[in-house]
Amino acid sequence: MERHRNQLDADTRGRGDKVKAVGVTSRRVTLSRGALFELGAAPKESGFTLIELVMTITIMTILTLGVMPLVKVSVKRQREQQLRDALRQMRIAVDEFHRDTVGMICTGSVAPPTQGQGSPLPPDPRSRVAISDCTIFGVDNPDRYPPDLDTLVSGVNVTPRGGNLGGRGDRNVNATEVGNPELSTKKKVYLRAIPVDPMTGKAEWDLRSCYDASDAGSWGGENVFDVRSKSKETALNGEKYSDW
């Protein structure tokens, strides 16, 4: 260091300049952790403060309170659609059953439905078969709606309307032969199973016969003309499920 300083003085003197040389000595300096934080050199510890945790919990609570009502409404709307589908399915089955009773001939005490001056009702063009089991209709059910929902599931014997009966060659069956027990070899099922009421969770329904008043509180038992839910809850549109 001393030699370097003397050389520097010699160089400057040789050019006629005055230079003041300062000697630098090396020392080891130790900084505290606080000083490193101030200088930004020390790594900071990661984590959440209490305020950040409180704010996060508050935001999550607000989001949850806002989403839960929407979820409940969505679930309720889905159940209502299931109820509509179940009611439509059963009512279609009841109507189809009743169409298949038109034009059937029974030897029992129940006379077939007629129109003006005692002439028989013409069959519905949508009906391809006629019910031939007359034992399921009682004297209190001359309109021949299904006696109960179980009949729609278990099925009834039918004969084709003017068509060919499978397994009997090419013989055609006309409407006057539907009462022949030898032709009653086919069974038609109108309902695969009694649906479960999504509002009650049970396969139980309020029934109405064609002789019950629209506001009747109980089933007369003569036949099944309409099906309704047993739930007394209110739908999203303000109606009672039992009125659907």
More confident residue, 124 or 174: 124
What's the CA gap between 218 and 194, in Å, rounded?
20
Residue 51: inside a domain, yes or no?
no
Chain center to CA of 70: 16
> Which whole number is the average pLDDT over 34-63?
70
Whole-number mean pLDDT of the chain? 76
Return the pLDDT at 69.
Answer: 78
Q: β-pairing, 206-208 with 186-188?
A: unpaired
Structural domain includes residue 151? yes
Q: Does the residue 211 lie in any domain?
A: yes
Structural domain tally of the chain? 1
Q: What was the pLDDT predicted at 178?
A: 44
The residue type of 242 is: S
Average pLDDT over residues 173-195: 68
- Give the model's confidence band at 154: pLDDT under 50 very low, under 70 low, under 90 confident, else very high: very high
Q: Is the pTM of this model over 0.75?
A: no
Full domain range(s) for residue 217: 77-243
Tell me if 133 is assigned to some domain: yes
Per-residue model confidence (pLDDT) at position 57: 85
Q: In the structure, what pLDDT confidence band is assigned to residue 49 with cuts at 50, 70 and 90?
A: confident
pLDDT band at 13 (very low <50, low <70, confident <90, very high): low
